[in-house]
Chains A and B, each alone.
Chain A
Amino acid sequence: MTSGYGRFALARAGQAAVVVLLAYVLTFLVISVLPGDAITNSLRDPQSGLSEADIQRIVQYYGLDQPVLVQLALSLGRFLTGELGFSLQSNLPVAQIVGDALPSTLTLASTALAIAVVFAIGIAYGAHYAPPRWAGVLRSIPSFFLSVPNFVIGLVLIELFAFRLHAFTTTDPNSATATLFAAVTLAIPVSAPLAEVLIASLDHESRQEYALVARSRGLAETQLFARHLVKPSALPSVAMVALIMGELLGGSVITETIFGRDGIGTVVQKAVTGEDQPVLQAVVSLSAVVFVAVNLAADLLTPLLDPRVNVREEANA
């Protein structure tokens, strides 16, 4: 069993590494190949304030005078050794830019994740156990949450709580209250798919014969929920964790812009407007790493949580 699990884990980790490399290559090609010579254009921009020597150094570093494939090899080689290069706008190391922005985004994303999980569980539990009228309302909430754009939620929250109720000010976006509201903005669209999956699997599990049998054994609904239904219903959402990470990272671009926070999202936005390719490449590939790592963790966890999953079969698949 252990060796089976070891092989399964190794195979999955290998696949994950391949996917990260592929994602890096894809990002590089999209950024570098599609429109002509954006990188040198921005270097030659007189406003960049770079001296001819600086420019020469950058061209040399990225191999800009060489074919794209050589540039890719150079860039990938550096990425594998953990070197992320330098920003074209500020000449700062990309690692430093990302490092400075990360704590703010981490705070935002983890708060949002916690809120989203609470929302989703609350909605799913209510949809299942509330009186029918309320349950119906709760069941339609995920669909509503999925229909409201992130930026509208943010603007409405700011309008209501900052401008009318003065719960926080937009001039101090890093205060606890402002962070909380930003996190709610980010959490609402994330909680919707999670709640939908939870509702569906709770519906499914409670209709299974084992739930009927447990009920016939005299378990009250709350006991049935806690002892029998929670675990199998939560298992499908473990597979969603990676998807949710993606939503959180993507959503932070908009949320940070609206709330005026400095974070990864703002870094992305600045890099896009300034055509700062090394920064863009680094942020996108790092989020792919995060995504793949979380996915890998979920994959490796599933056989440990779910006795039905046979690791041998999985490893061969």
Chain B
Amino acid sequence: MSTSNPGGTTRGKDTTVPETKASPLLSVEGLHVAYGRRKVVHDVGFTLARGGSLALIGESGSGKSTIAKAVLRLLQPAEATVDGSVRLAGTEVLSLAERQFRPLRGRQLGFIPQDPGSALNPVRSIGAQAHEAAALAGERDAAARRRMILEVFDQVGLPDPVRVYDSYPHQLSGGMLQRVLIALTVLPRPSLIVADEPTSALDVTVQKLILDLLGDLRKELDIGLLLITHDLAIAAERADTLVVLKDGAVHEQGPSAHVFAAPRTAYARDLQADVPALNPDRYRSQRPGGPRDELLDGTTADATTAERPAQIAVTKVTKSFRTRGKEVRAVDGVSFAVERGRTHALVGESGSGKTTAVRLLLGLEQPDSGSITVGGHATAGLSRAGLRDVRRHLQLVYQNPFTSLDPTWRVGRIIREPLDRFGVGSTADRADRVRDALQSVGLPADVVDRRPAQLSGGQRQRVAIARALVVRPDVVVLDEPTSALDVSVQAGILELLARLQRDLGLTYVFVSHNLALVRQVADTVSVLRRGQVVEHGTVDQVFDRPQHPYTRALLDAIPGTSGLALPAVAEASPEHDNIQKLAEAAL
């Protein structure tokens, strides 16, 4: 096996598909896949050099995972028909008998799946499953296999490998499980690893660590990588070559730097524009208010507060839960204030307490101590009727529009529900207001007779927004409103939210794990970690001069801000200038 410079052959000014040696590591030609009569992959072809890396990028339904499974021959013949050619180091694998292909599995061709939580058998110990991988490396002696396993666990940075070896999957965190899976995949030294969204189920900081680990191991062991992802920034940062997929066909492909910095097709340009980290000011023009310096700032807090009374004030709120006999402080002395008509972001990873903070704000939980006022009224200790009055002015948009709308109701009734419950207006008024709400979220009037299942994810989230707005609240809490949606749909929703805020003077509390997104949409931000606010201030302060090491770690973890992308993209420069600079920087 030759040891070519990783990806060396794919770099260069030439934008055509690069020439490679006689037998590249992986070459896919004319690949077609159909589930029954539904064709999901059309005529896909790409080449990956030995030791190189290639990313398949696309949104849901683009066929990227199907291509990965076709390469790995993991599609069941009963459900999918695969045509075309997939050559692994010159050997055609699609036509190979299963008996001849099986020795290649694991040994030549490794697989890292999307969700580490479900990728290991829950009722067998990690060690027992690791032996299967170690056996692929050809070691027959069980004690020697165990040594190999512990060694590779150590190599991937798992603390206390013996404990991991004896654990069951549910006893480890997602990040640790993904390390275990990477360890098991690299153990037999395959020449190609297929990683299907290897980090999308993980927190951002963990995501970066895992991707770094994968990159280091790959270089060290000279392993080729086929990366499947929906995230253009991750793809550009981690792969030499990008293949942009849409509706099962290749839309654009070429060296990462080219595709990322100067996309040739409209679709790739859209994808690029939709990466939040690259366009921090994307929604600036649609948002209310002037330049950011006018905003509430730590030093001038008193003056501005006097000018604009806080719409929401959360002061030293604490909430504990008892789980498994232990007392856990989900929210620990959290304070923040939001001005009328502004957007405040609560940022944190899982377990940071941001969800509990939102539930406290909405009165779904009662704080153990501290006070919360919305529009000057305290929410703690209110009767049901009192809480109802507060909620009329305080609405929530849930993270997942697939679970927040009753599947048995029609859209018209869903949006009308708050009007009916709060007894707003006459029947005719309500119908008018539903129509207005639909119009303002950009949905046609005829969706009122549809059920949620007949709508796409983005449309459902628009319905959820319409439901929140129909009672004309002052404050809307947005709980990760776009994280269940594709990037391009996300952009549409964020534009809509910005416009509505400007038109209706809404105050937003925006909950997110995604710092890049927060920079685009928020005025002020609180960074939460383990129930405490570790840093707060205006977006510019926090992003440009982070004080707390955790904030810095979060910022570093934003894909697209290191390597290829430009951290110093001038805020005012128009988009095409950005692209120009990106291209220059990349080349």
Contacts and interface: CB of A to CB of B under 8 A. Distances in A.
A213 B122 contact: no
Interface stretch (B87-95, B105-113, B556-564): B105-113
B121 A214 contact: yes
B123 to A, nearest CB: 5
B119 A210 contact: yes
B548 interface: no
Given A209-B115, A209-B119, A212-B113, A217 B170 contact: no
Nearest to B99: A220
Nearest to B128: A227
Given A214-B132, A216-B74, 5 more contacts: A218-B107, A231-B123, A235-B123, A305-B123, A308-B122
Interface string B179-205: 001001000000000000000000000
A216 B72 contact: yes
Given A132-B78, A214-B132, A216-B109, A232 B102 contact: no
B106 A209 contact: no
B138 interface: no
Contact of B105 (A215, A232, A305, A312): A215
Contacts of A72: none
A232 B119 contact: no
Given A212-B74, A213-B113, A215-B74, A308 B123 contact: yes
Contact of B120 (A210, A218, A227): A210
A312 B121 contact: no
Interface string A265-277: 0000000000000
Closest A-B pairs by Cβ, 5 of them: A218-B105, A216-B111, A217-B106, A307-B168, A218-B106
Given A209-B113, A308-B168, A310-B324, A217 B133 contact: yes
B404 interface: no
A228 interface: yes
A219 B78 contact: no
B351 interface: no
A313 interface: yes
Given A209-B114, A312-B324, A313-B324, A218 B122 contact: no
A228 B181 CA distance: 16
B132 A217 contact: yes
| Chain B contact residues, majority secondary structure | loop
Interface of B: 72, 74, 78, 102-107, 109-111, 113-115, 118-125, 129, 132-133, 136, 168, 170, 181, 184, 324-325
A173 to B, nearest CB: 43
Interface in A292-311: 305-308, 310
Contacts of A218: 102-107, 136
Contacts of A307: 122-123, 125, 168, 170
A232 B136 contact: no
Contact of A210 (B104, B121, B325): B121
Nearest to A207: B76
Nearest to A310: B324
Contacts of A231: 123-124
A60 interface: no
Contact of A228 (B105, B111, B121): B121
Interface of A: 132, 208-210, 212-220, 227-228, 231-232, 235, 305-308, 310, 312-313
Contacts of A132: 78
B132 A219 contact: yes
Contacts of B136: 217-218
A235 B136 CA distance: 29
Contacts of A213: 111, 113, 119-120, 181
A181 to B, nearest CB: 38
Contacts of A228: 121, 124
A214 B120 CA distance: 8
B325 A209 contact: no
A210 B109 CA distance: 16
Contacts of B114: 209
A218 B74 CA distance: 11
A259 B103 CA distance: 56
A307 B167 CA distance: 10
17 contacts: A209-B113, A209-B118, A212-B74, A212-B113, A214-B129, A215-B74, A217-B105, A217-B132, A217-B133, A217-B136, A218-B104, A219-B132, A228-B124, A235-B123, A305-B123, A307-B168, A310-B324
Nearest to B104: A218
Contacts of B125: 307
Contacts of A308: 122-123, 168, 170
Nearest to A216: B111
B122 A216 contact: no
A252 to B, nearest CB: 34
Nearest to A223: B132
Contacts of B121: 210, 214, 228, 232
Nearest to B323: A313
Contacts of A235: 123
Contacts of B105: 215-218
B132 A210 contact: no
A73 B184 CA distance: 65
Nearest to A305: B123
A174 to B, nearest CB: 42
Nearest to A205: B121
Nearest to A210: B121
Nearest to B107: A218
Contacts of B102: 218, 220
Among A213, A218, A306, A312, find the residue whose CB has the most chain B CB atoms closer than 10 A.
A213
Among A210, A307, A308, find the residue whose CB has the most chain B CB atoms closer than 10 A.
A210
A227 B120 CA distance: 12
B91 to A, nearest CB: 16
Contacts of B168: 307-308
A246 to B, nearest CB: 27
B66 to A, nearest CB: 13
Among A132, A215, A216, A305, find the residue whose CB has the most chain B CB atoms closer than 10 A.
A216
A231 B103 CA distance: 26
B123 A306 contact: yes
A208 B118 contact: yes
A252 B486 CA distance: 59
A232 B115 CA distance: 19
A228 B124 CA distance: 8
B41 to A, nearest CB: 18
Nearest to B132: A217
B486 to A, nearest CB: 21
Contacts of A232: 121-123
Contacts of B184: 217
Contacts of A212: 74, 111, 113, 119
A210 B78 CA distance: 20
A228 B129 CA distance: 9
B370 to A, nearest CB: 28
A301 to B, nearest CB: 13
Given A215-B105, A216-B74, A307-B123, A210 B118 contact: yes
Among B72, B78, B122, find the residue whose CB has the most chain A CB atoms closer than 10 A.
B122
A306 B122 CA distance: 9
B529 to A, nearest CB: 27
Contacts of A217: 105-106, 111, 132-133, 136, 184
Nearest to A231: B123
